Amino acid sequence: MRRPSPTAPRLASIAVLVVIACGDPDATPGTSGSSGPPAGTDTAPTTSTATTGPEDTSTSAADSSTGVDGDPCDDSPDAVADCVETERYAADLEFIADIRTPGSAHWQAVQDLCFDRLTEYGYEVELHEYGSGVNVIGRRVGMTAPEEIVLLGAHYDHIPDCHGADDNATGVAAALEIARVLAGAPLARTVMVACWDEEELGLVGSAAFAAQAAQDGTDIVIDFNFDMIGFSSSEPGSQEIPAGLDLAFPDAYAEIEANEFRGDFIAMMANASAAAAAEDFIAQADRLGLRAGLLALPAGTETSDLFADLRRSDHASFWDQGYAALFLTDSGEFRNPNYHCMAGPDEIVDLDEAFAVQVARATAGAAASAAGL
């Protein structure tokens, strides 16, 4: 997540619509982040592993019609969600979390990882070289509405001298694992998965892509953006609140206050056209026992500097071009003291991988719904 702008005004004190939903209201506060899915879903059944593993998807190409092969992971959005595997997620997270300043050796290695994973899963992969950097974009063509695109993305660059485990290895690993579970499903719409470059330098990579997409008339129906999805805390007082949020989103503030300011939920920020995707995500979160809090921006306000605190990642590039986008985040420095290595190193040991995997699952299910499964 990029640094806050020092000059932008904080959240406006205007009355806005807010919805906050908390998954599994019966769960003990603070424990939902580490609660797993129903028994047996953490590791995919042997049969599905055999048909969705990298060794088999190489033949599926970018054609959704090959998904109808009896794989139980492809049956429904819930099934897609439950096929997200903790071990695969953890392995990619472990690899990505190292210094990867643009142009560095590990930045290149992570770019290669995105390229190789997406290729392995059967996506058509493009290196989008926009001038100063390189986005990696995978595309899997939909069966009946190929011009309509469901996009998932996360930035793979990071600032110098910081491993960036939360920011944003957690997001890239999620995007790649969701790419895998969506690879075989019979989807109406096209799915694109992106590893964005130079987010920390000002959303440069995603802005270049979104501007080109808008110029070309590309029909992106929803963008799911991950940036920092791995830090949670059940400690009261662990969630700080951006100045002005209590006034702009009083209902969301009240929910967080009632939960004793625990940082145990995934924060969601949606522009008005992303409302349906947000609802699908919340339904998945409820099913999985993941707490989710939504800030729903009123129509037309998503490009305003008044909401600068809510525009600090790549989803803002899509908001700026008039697209629907949903931002999923642990809220960065408002919860994680090691944001940008400010109070300490941003390392995997301080993260809640089970929480991140639940976010990935809920998003996989919501993305499958959005893509017409």
Rounded to whole angstroms, the Cα distance separating 19 from 10 reads: 20
Establish if 78 lies at the interface with Zn ion (CB under 5 A). Answer: no
Q: Give the shortest CB-66-to-Zn ion separation in angstroms.
A: 37
Select the span of 54-62, 69-77, 163-171, 242-250 touching Zn ion (CB under 5 A). Answer: 163-171
Select the span of 32-40, 166-174, 265-273, 297-305 touching Zn ion (CB under 5 A). Answer: 166-174
Q: Would you say 100 and 157 are in contact if contact means Cβ atoms under 8 Å apart?
A: yes
Q: Give the shortest CB-6-to-Zn ion separation in angstroms.
A: 15
Q: Which residues contact 54 (CB under 8 A, 6 or more apart)?
A: 120, 121, 180
Q: In angstroms, what CA-CA distances link 285 with 19, 110, 288, 290, 335?
A: 14, 29, 5, 5, 20
Establish if 167 lies at the interface with Zn ion (CB under 5 A). Answer: yes
Q: Give the shortest CB-200-to-Zn ion separation in angstroms.
A: 5
The residue written with tokens 């830090």 in the block is 231
* Residue of 1, 83, 316, 368 that binds Zn ion (CB under 5 A): 1
Q: Give the shortest CB-71-to-Zn ion separation in angstroms.
A: 36
Rounded to whole angstroms, the Cα distance separating 362 from 153 reads: 15
Q: Other CB atoms closer than 10 Å to residue 128's CB: what's the count?
A: 17
Q: Give the shortest CB-201-to-Zn ion separation in angstroms.
A: 10
Using the Cα atoms of residue 240, residue 243, residue 245 and residue 246 in order, give the sign of their dihedral.
positive
Select the span of 18-26, 40-48, 161-169, 230-238 touching Zn ion (CB under 5 A). Answer: 161-169
Secondary structure class of 305 (helix, strand, coil): helix
Establish if 198 lies at the interface with Zn ion (CB under 5 A). Answer: no
Interhelix angle 353-370/86-96, rounded to 10 degrees, is 110
Select the span of 13-21, 130-138, 159-167, 180-188 touching Zn ion (CB under 5 A). Answer: 159-167
Q: Which of 181, 218, 178 is nearest to 194 (CA)?
A: 178
Tokens, residue 17 = 């619509």
Q: Give the shortest CB-141-to-Zn ion separation in angstroms.
A: 32
Q: Which of 331, 346, 318, 355 is nearest to 150 (CA)?
A: 318
Select the span of 53-61, 72-80, 104-112, 162-170 touching Zn ion (CB under 5 A). Answer: 162-170
Site for Zn ion in 271-330 (CB under 5 A): none
Q: Which is nearer to Zn ion, 198 or 320 (CB)?
A: 198
Q: Which is nearer to Zn ion, 324 or 351 (CB)?
A: 351
Q: Which is nearer to Zn ion, 23 or 164 (CB)?
A: 164
Q: Give the shortest CB-121-to-Zn ion separation in angstroms.
A: 27
Rounded to whole angstroms, the Cα distance separating 295 from 252 reads: 7
Q: Give the shortest CB-2-to-Zn ion separation in angstroms.
A: 6
Rounded to whole angstroms, the Cα distance separating 122 from 116 reads: 10
Number of residues that bind Zn ion (CB under 5 A): 2
Q: Binding residues for Zn ion, per CB under 5 A? A: 1, 167
